[in-house]
Amino acid sequence: MRFTAAGGAAKRPIVFYWENFGPMHIDRCKAVMQSMHERRVVGLEMWSRSRTYEWAAAATVPFQKITLFSEADKPGTVARLRRLLQICREIGRGDYFLCNYQDVETLLLAIALRLSGSRVYVMWLSKFDDYHRYLWRELGKSVFLKPYHGAISSGVRAKDYLRFLGIRSDSIAGEYNTLSIDRVQKAANRVPAPGGTPFQERSFVAVARLVPKKNISMLLDAYDTYRHAEPAPRPLVICGSGPLEGELVAKARELGLDHLVSFRGFLQSDAISAVLAESLCLLLPSIEEQFGNAVIEAQAMGLPVILSDNCGARDLLVRNGVTGFVVEPDNPEGMAWFMLQLARDEALWRRMSERALAGAHLGDVSQFVRGVQRLVALNAPTDRSKRA
What confidence score (pLDDT) does residue 58 get? 80
Q: What percent of the chain has pLDDT over 90?
A: 89
Q: Averaged over 219-227, what is the pLDDT?
A: 98
Strand pairing category for 64-69 and 41-47: parallel
What confidence score (pLDDT) does residue 4 get? 52
Q: Is the pLDDT of residue 384 over 70?
A: no
Q: What percent of the chain has pLDDT over 70?
A: 95
Query: Average pLDDT over the chain, rounded to whole?
Result: 93
84-88-91-93 Cα dihedral, nearest 10 degrees: 170
pLDDT in tens, 229-256: 999 999 999 999 999 999 999 999 999 9
The helix/strand/coil state of 364 is strand
Q: Count of CB atoms within 10 A of residue 14's CB?
A: 22
Q: Is the pLDDT of residue 385 over 80?
A: no
Backbone angles phi, psi at 262, to 5 degrees: -120, 130
Sheet containing strand 119-123, strands side by side? 64-69, 41-47, 14-18, 95-98, 119-123, 150-153, 172-174
Strand pairing category for 172-174 and 150-153: parallel
pLDDT in tens, 196-218: 999 999 999 999 999 999 999 99
What confidence score (pLDDT) does residue 10 get? 55
What confidence score (pLDDT) does residue 387 get? 37
> What are the chain's domains?
9-178+365-378 (3.40.50.2000), 181-362 (3.40.50.2000)
pLDDT in tens, 302-344: 999 999 999 999 999 999 999 999 999 999 999 999 999 999 9
How far is it, in rounded angstroms, from Cα 121 to Cα 66? Answer: 19
